[in-house]
Amino acid sequence: MNKEPKCPKCGMENTYFDSSTDLYVCPDCSHEFSTEAADDEAEDKTPRDSNGTELLTGDSVTLIKDLKVRGSSIVLKRGTKVKSIRLTEDHEEVDCKIDGTSFVLKTCFLKK
């Protein structure tokens, strides 16, 4: 018997093939996908900035938006340059230091 692929969106194994649309369906999150799309989404775990440029450890980036820091009155201003970022296990976040304070920033608010 053929094993159904995991849902690329939520990772659940409770998927089934819908022959009317020729797609796999995840009943847990209602995501529809093809096997090619599942393979493509699973492979693309490289961190990318807001413009789609690949980020590497040690890169310098710039903030594209004012960001309020949770639990603090600090605001990181747009245009702030961040040097020597470090990649984290999550491909959507980077670790960095701004004015001696460590922050974890979402890659969607950065440009290389």
Q: Domain residue spans in the chain? A: 1-44, 61-111
pLDDT > 90? residue 30: no
Q: Between these two residues, 25 and 45, which has the higher pLDDT value? A: 25
Single-letter residue type at 56? L
Q: Is the pTM of this model over 0.75?
A: no
**Is 75 within 8 Å of 98 (Cβ atoms)?**
no
Q: Determine the Cα–Cα distance for residues 62 and 31; give it in Å rounded to an integer.
A: 34
- Which CATH superfamily includes the segment(s) 61-111? SH3 Domains (2.30.30.40)
DSSP string of 4-72? PPPPTTT--S--EEETTTTEEE-TTT--EE-HHHHHHHHH----B-TTSPBP-TT--EEESS-EEPTTS
Among 1-10, 73-82, 99-108, the minimum mean pLDDT is found in 1-10
What CATH architecture applies to the domain 1-44?
Single Sheet (2.20)
Q: What is the mean pLDDT of residues 70-89?
A: 93
pLDDT > 50? residue 1: no
